[in-house]
Structure 1
Amino acid sequence: MHDSNPLRRARRTPTFSGSLLALLFWWQSLSPTLIPRSWVTQTIIGAICLATGYAIGTLAGCGAYRLLQRSRRLPNSVFSRRGRIVLIAVWLVAIVVGAKLWPGWQNEQRSLMGMPFIVWPDGVLASALSTVAGALLVVVGRGVACVAAGLKRVIQRHVPSIVSVPAIALLIVVVVGIALGRAAVLPALIAAVHSMHASVNEKTVEGIVAPESSAVSGSRASFVAWDTLGRMGRTFVATATSKQDLAKFHGTNAGLVEPVRVYVGLHSADSAEQRAQLAVRELERAGGFDRKVLVVWVPTGTGWIVPKAAAALEQLHRGDTAIVAIQYSFLPSLLANFIDTGLANEAGVALFDAVHARWSKLPPDRRPKLVLFGKSLGAAGVEASFVGADAASSVANMVARTDGALIVGGKQSNPIHSQLTRERERRSPFWQPIFDGGRSVRFLNRDPHQPVLDADWPAPRIVYLQHPADPAVFWNARALGWPPEWMAQPRGFDMPRAMRWFPIVSGVQAVGDLLNMLAGVPPGFGHNYSSRDYTNGWASVTRPDGWTNADTERLAQFIDGVPGDESEP
């Protein structure tokens, strides 16, 4: 007799095929990835993988059962019962072994990154709770399936049998889900996210006050009003490197000048083009075109300017610098990448074109070095002005119109980054491409075994800083069904040896890494770039005359003490 109670049906004995694949998926979820995980994160990832494996296994099992049924080769009940007993035993052993293996894999990675070790209770919690949470997800999923089956029966009573009832049921569920999502859920969610972060953008960090220096935006002499700069802009201009800060490193006030910092917020003008034009007028007012180095800086999604990267540039050139940036969003980069799609590119193109047009009018012997900087989402904005048909033409565009670029933690899927990776020399790994022998572009990181390139590196120099274990750079949706190339040997020095690809599971782990990439990861790993990264990068792109590697190391240690977050707040 047919059981019409959906709750009772949802609690029925799990299917053998579903439980088997759930075990395989759950076990694979224990393997390490680019970012160390806490037991809470592992519980979530393990539960999702378990439930996903169960769903796929059950569907596959249903198909196999029907084929066996037609061929009259169904296994007898004794075989099925013994198989379930064996599977339960294997599950219990896997939970115990996983509770021991998982902490070991995690601590191997944490040791490399200098992170605190996890202890054995963490392994027990991750192993046990992930299976319990996964089982609950399975029950919920079976409940949803029962509801769909009920819908199917209702349709059968009202629709002619000639029509495919499962197809109609599925179509109704999909159409209703999409309609509700597009009409109500998604817009409401986006509006809520914008509202929350808009209010944060209007706030000012405690202790931050309007600057007095005319060399920065937001001052009394500025064309850009203080209250239009946004939270990140106000912090950036108010914490500009002073002559006293420069003297702390250089030991003297001789030859030091106050650096220029120009920032135009979202509320400073109505469009990206208008903000760019205002930024150029502000640069002229502050004397930015009279400096030795002028940096067109594309911020991250929130409008954040990396404080240690800015301070490293200014100290490197004794303050004879100007930084110009415009805000294009107030959402964190991870959200802005999906909600404010394309705004980073629009802002990057508008600002560079406006600055370059004014810079080009200067006599060649009076032009500052025109350099680009972008981190994370800002990296896409840096590349947007120079994309050509292939890597060679893109690099040629950048070399012809700039004096160098420092691009940090940009996605591998960004146009030029993708071209350089795809057209790299065959001897170079995916995570550290070598293009054209490193003549104009080089990928740098902290790997002690980096390939030796020609020491004669003519300007302009384009530097990509990327950690091999940076999820923002490498993870993408293809990991769901295809092994990522960066997992192949040889691997980067910060990639765990036990990391392995598995269909679907690796995609779930990728999402976990992206959400977890800044949580507790120390500077110099993952998406958290360090003072040494920025100092080495700037010294590579715009090295002053007489500057030595010892100077770079000394500056990196000094920048470590500069206040400010090293990852997007």
Structure 2
Amino acid sequence: MSASPCPTPVQSEESANERGSITVVGLDLFGLVFALFFFAWSLSPSLLPRDWLFQGIISGVTSVSGYGAGLLLAFPLRRWVEPLVFWCTQQRRFQVVADTIGIVLALSTVVATLLVAGNWQRDIDTLMGMPPMVTVAYLRTGVVSVAIFVTVPGLSRGLRRAARWIARLLSERLRVPPAVAHASAPVVVAVAVAAVVNEVILTGSSEAARRVFGAQNNGTQPGVVQPFEAERSGSPESASRWETLGLQGRSFVAGGVGPAELAKINGGRAQVPVRVYAGLESAPDTAARVRLILDELDRTRAWDRRILVVAGATGTGWINPVAAESIELMYNGDSAIAAMQYSFLPSWISFLVDRSAATAVGDALITAIHQRWSEMPEDRRPRLVVYGESLGSQSAEAAYGDLSDLRRSVDGALFVGPPNSNRLWRDVEDRRDPGTTEVLPTYAGGLVVRFASNRNNLAVLGTNSPHAITEPWLQPRVLYLQHASDPIVWWSPELLWSRPDWLAEAPGDDRIGAMRWYPIVTFWQVTADLTRAQSQPPGYGHNYDDLIPYALAAVAAPPGWTAADTQRVSQTLEADAPNRSR
């Protein structure tokens, strides 16, 4: 009788536990294959440009996700197919060959995809008018990704060893039946890991973020000084005290163009624009802060101005100075803007964790102001406009049940870079006219609400490509600004498992056509893009500064306003852009 060509060796307990898994350099074959696929997909272009370090982190995390998905999905193969070829996995020669082939194929895949990805990143840089990166330098991405990827399987092995040690302890020391001990040990480890993640990592990170950004909120930006004009919150006459307004609130009430400069730009007599603001520390709760805002509007005689804008703040309490100054330039200071802080976390963090606070504050503030405004005689009350950018748009939308309710309640509305979870925005998008795109839809022929990504989309009459709108735009007008490359607009948990319409249709003007949807991977890509959404040049990502003056002129311009007037405002703001920070 001949000997078996692949004799079964004596196995240790650990190898016996991993019996039946084909490995390459100690990594599960199926998991590694999925990890490589996810790595390659993660390098495909996303909405915004990424440098090599940032991309390395994204690809490393995505590869780990792919490895886990491979282990899960390959379970049937491991259970019923691998045993048929298990005899070969026990041969050392086979393992050496498998390791060699696996290493060569893995390195080839990594290098080839990195070179292609580098070219894609150059295309995105060029599209957005940024200096193109050097493709070869992008190879450093692979080093970062591999470092992240190899760390996780090492932790996994450590957890498995810990589970086996606990099982032996239960069985040998505490006399627990072996079957119960081996079943209980993984549960003990899982509970311990969950406790560490929840109590140490998540809670610790959240508290650390609140401490860091809370401290920032108590600061004041360089060059910002307390206003002494009675028309401003934070002034000596104001009950909304300067030290309670927060970092962004202080910048808001102290900023803007003064009446002398307004008169020089526009001609004629100008007024000090009213800016009313309440910070998180200005009053003990939301209701009290709303009452404070109303008191400030009364004190500053804001109801006597030609226009009153209720502005939804972003996560940090920021009001875009481009929007505020556009209104004040259009009305030569005969304006009032009211806003209220609900958080001090950066926008991308607030977007993920503070959305409920944004909607609650927006609903309370707008409802209270509208109630007071609606009690005034129609011929004496100011024009009422709502404005919100980013999470501020969700805050501003929150007071209205639907589009009709919004238009019945205000004289105009501008929402900039609305998050995908905005209820009114989502409803209009889902009911867009057949044949129009999600990136830039048409609703009811553009009669009452419109979408724009550039100035060409703001035409009121005639062909409005790609809308092909021929209907007039009725008052009061509602306008959404959204870029095809803005991750705040397009991020959604559904990216994990479903391809959205905006990735199934032709790209907009500011996104390259090479972007594709991949399960799980695209979700992580767009999530990572959130952190850099606001740092892009005007016209890309979440930067709408070049379009906001034209958008506000479209929905809230005073009578007799002309295109030349809008151009003058835009040029004034552009000249001052180096002095502003986002």
Asked if these proteins are the same fold (TM beyond 0.5), I'd say yes
Gaps of 5+ in 2: 1-10, 457-464
Paired with 1:501 and 1:239, the residues of 2 have a C-alpha distance of: 43
Contact 2:447 2:471 in 1 (8 A): no
Paired with 2:153 and 2:544, the residues of 1 have a C-alpha distance of: 39
Alignment match, 2:121: 106
Alpha carbons of structure 1 residues 564 and 175: separation in structure 2 relative to 1, 3 Å: farther
Post-superposition offset of 1:540? 1.2
Post-superposition offset of 1:268? 1.7
2:385 is matched by which residue type in structure 1?
V
Alignment match, 1:213: 229
Paired with 1:130 and 1:190, the residues of 2 have a C-alpha distance of: 26
Contact 2:234 2:242 in 1 (8 A): yes
Post-superposition offset of 1:16? 2.2
Alignment match, 1:36: 49
Post-superposition offset of 1:397? 0.4
Alignment match, 2:134: 119
Post-superposition offset of 1:47? 1.4
Alignment match, 2:108: 93
Q: Which residue, out of 128, 133, 153, partners 1:138?
A: 153
Matched, 1:23 2:53: no
Residue range with higher mean Cα deviation, 130-139 or 325-334? 130-139
Paired with 2:57 and 2:510, the residues of 1 have a C-alpha distance of: 24
Q: Give matches, 1:374-523, under 5 Å.
A: 374-387=388-401, 394-446=402-454, 449-454=465-470, 456-519=472-535, 521-523=536-538
Post-superposition offset of 1:372? 0.4
Alpha carbons of structure 1 residues 46 and 149: separation in structure 2 relative to 1, 3 Å: farther
Alpha carbons of structure 1 residues 218 and 59: separation in structure 2 relative to 1, 3 Å: closer
SS at match of 1:342: helix
Matched, 1:291 2:281: no
Post-superposition offset of 1:59? 4.4
Alignment match, 1:265: 279
Post-superposition offset of 1:184? 5.5
Paired with 2:73 and 2:357, the residues of 1 have a C-alpha distance of: 43
Alignment match, 1:536: 550
Q: Give matches, 1:293-372, under 5 Å.
A: 293-372=307-386
Alpha carbons of structure 1 residues 552 and 153: separation in structure 2 relative to 1, 3 Å: farther
Post-superposition offset of 1:379? 1.1
Alignment match, 1:233: 249
Residue range with higher mean Cα deviation, 422-431 or 104-113? 422-431
SS at match of 2:81: helix
Post-superposition offset of 1:183? 5.0
Number of residue pairs matched by the alignment: 555
Alignment match, 2:462: none
Paired with 1:26 and 1:494, the residues of 2 have a C-alpha distance of: 25
Post-superposition offset of 1:40? 0.3
Contact 1:447 1:493 in 2 (8 A): no
2:441 is matched by which residue type in structure 1?
P
Residue range with higher mean Cα deviation, 396-405 or 332-341? 332-341
Contact 1:18 1:54 in 2 (8 A): yes
Contact 1:47 1:135 in 2 (8 A): no
2:150 is matched by which residue type in structure 1?
A
Contact 2:394 2:418 in 1 (8 A): yes
2:547 is matched by which residue type in structure 1?
D
Matched, 1:50 2:63: yes
Contact 1:98 1:127 in 2 (8 A): no
Paired with 2:492 and 2:505, the residues of 1 have a C-alpha distance of: 19
Alpha carbons of structure 1 residues 52 and 155: separation in structure 2 relative to 1, 3 Å: farther
Q: Which residue, out of 54, 62, 66, partners 2:79?
A: 66
Paired with 2:240 and 2:246, the residues of 1 have a C-alpha distance of: 11
Paired with 2:188 and 2:207, the residues of 1 have a C-alpha distance of: 27
Alignment match, 1:559: 573
Gaps of 5+ in 1: 388-393
Q: Which residue, out of 243, 260, 263, partners 1:244?
A: 260
**CA deviations over 1:199-235 (Å, ceiling 9, x no partner):** 2222222222221211111222223222222221111
Contact 2:263 2:269 in 1 (8 A): no
**CA deviations over 1:223-266 (Å, ceiling 9, x no partner):** 3222222221111111132112313432x2x1422211111122
Alpha carbons of structure 1 residues 379 and 164: separation in structure 2 relative to 1, 3 Å: farther
Post-superposition offset of 1:404? 1.2
Contact 1:240 1:261 in 2 (8 A): no
Post-superposition offset of 1:289? 0.6
Alpha carbons of structure 1 residues 200 and 477: separation in structure 2 relative to 1, 3 Å: same
Contact 1:259 1:321 in 2 (8 A): yes
Alignment match, 1:277: 291
Matched, 1:201 2:211: no
Post-superposition offset of 1:332? 1.6
Paired with 2:423 and 2:383, the residues of 1 have a C-alpha distance of: 25
Post-superposition offset of 1:308? 1.1
Contact 1:306 1:565 in 2 (8 A): no
2:495 is matched by which residue type in structure 1?
A
Q: Over alpha carbons, which structure has the higher Rg?
A: 2
Matched, 1:2 2:16: no
Alignment match, 2:6: none
Alpha carbons of structure 1 residues 177 and 86: separation in structure 2 relative to 1, 3 Å: closer
2:538 is matched by which residue type in structure 1?
P
Alpha carbons of structure 1 residues 551 and 225: separation in structure 2 relative to 1, 3 Å: same
Contact 2:328 2:335 in 1 (8 A): yes
Matched, 1:14 2:27: yes
2:336 is matched by which residue type in structure 1?
A
Matched, 1:160 2:186: no
RMSD of the TM alignment (CA)?
2.8
Relative contact order, higher structure (CA 8 A, sep 6+): 1
Paired with 1:567 and 1:48, the residues of 2 have a C-alpha distance of: 31
**CA deviations over 1:353-380 (Å, ceiling 9, x no partner):** 2211211121110111111011111111
Residue range with higher mean Cα deviation, 447-456 or 373-382? 447-456
Contact 2:385 2:411 in 1 (8 A): yes
Alpha carbons of structure 1 residues 509 and 184: separation in structure 2 relative to 1, 3 Å: closer
1:418 is matched by which residue type in structure 2?
R
Paired with 2:551 and 2:176, the residues of 1 have a C-alpha distance of: 68
1:542 is matched by which residue type in structure 2?
A
Contact 1:306 1:566 in 2 (8 A): no
Alpha carbons of structure 1 residues 502 and 149: separation in structure 2 relative to 1, 3 Å: farther
SS at match of 1:99: helix
Paired with 1:438 and 1:98, the residues of 2 have a C-alpha distance of: 43
SS at match of 2:576: coil
2:124 is matched by which residue type in structure 1?
Q
